[in-house]
Amino acid sequence: MRITRRGLLLVLSSPSGAGKTTLARRLLDAEPGIHMSVSVTTRKPRPGEVEGVDYFFVDKREFERLKARRKLLEWAEVFGQLYATPKTPVVDALQSGNDVLFDVDWQGARQIKKRLPRDVVRVFILPPDGKTLERRLRARNQDSEAAVVHRMAKAAAEIEHWDEYDYVVVNVDVEKCLAELRSILAAERLKRERQSGLAGFVGEMLDDL
């Protein structure tokens, strides 16, 4: 028998280059019942990015309109561009018992926690060390030297917020880190307070005894 439950919001944060995007994609492939929250952003699409799949790309005027109408769950400015999470799809997923995966920075994680505190599970992903992080950033070949230096400084500022999270994992090995994320998700799904149908299930069991 399947016990109905309320969905959860799994928030992944990390400095740029720590492997968060790869882990998010692997987790989505491995776990049924969870889907990626698609953010709104004012930045231009990167090569290979698809509208409505990777992001919803809007201009700043449209972004501010959504914000003014309270259609955004969280928002933040990163490297001069605006990012946000549309609110309605997230609330609908929670009520339907579906989980939502977020790829946001500490600012977004803090806002989501403030607005939906009992639904959020926050995980911070650390790189093995600073040298590995720098190597990963340079291997992308998408940013200028100045941009890489700026991202390294930004990474240090991001890492300072590690202690605001419920879980911290170190991405030394992708497979091991993925297994840890799946364990976190499994445990959080089983929490008593998320299993909305548990009281009825236990009540029926007691009636049979």
- Alpha helices by DSSP H, listed for the chain, are 20-30, 60-68, 87-95, 106-115, 130-139, 145-159, 174-189, 198-208
Out of 20-29, 99-108, 141-150, least confident range:
141-150
110 close to 163: Cβ distance less than 8 angstroms = no
Would you state the pLDDT for residue 115?
92
pTM comes to 0.85
Dump pLDDT digits (tens) for 146-166.
777 888 888 889 999 999 999
Q: Are 62 and 87 in contact (CB under 8 A)?
A: no
Tell me the domains of the chain and their CATH numbers: 9-202 (3.40.50.300)
The 8-class DSSP code of residue 79 comes to: T
DSSP structure class, residue 190 = T
CB 177 within 8 A of CB 171: yes
Tokens of 41: 């952003």
164 half-sphere exposure, CB direction, 13 A CA radius: 19
pLDDT at 76: 86
Phi, psi of 188 (to 5 degrees): -70, -35
Q: Which residues, listed in sequence order, are joined to residue 38 by a DSSP beta bridge? A: none
Write down the pLDDT at residue 135.
80
Nearest to 106 by CA among 60, 160, 145, 66: 160
pLDDT, tens only, 104-131: 889 889 999 999 999 999 999 999 888 8
Percent of the chain with pLDDT over 70: 98
Eight-state DSSP code of residue 56: E
Predicted pLDDT at 9: 98
- pLDDT bucket at 134, cuts 50 / 70 / 90: confident
Beta bridge partners of 55: 39, 51
Q: Which phi and psi angles does 147 have, rounded to 5°?
A: -65, -40
- Alpha carbons 163 and 161: distance in angstroms, whole number: 6
Residues 6 or more apart whose Cβ sits within 8 Å of residue 136: 17, 18, 19, 127
Assess whether pLDDT exceeds 90 at residue 99: yes
Q: Is 2 helix (H, G, I), strand (E, B) or coil?
A: coil
pLDDT at position 23 over 90? yes
> What's residue 48's pLDDT?
92
Q: Compare 1 and 201 and report the one with higher pLDDT.
A: 201
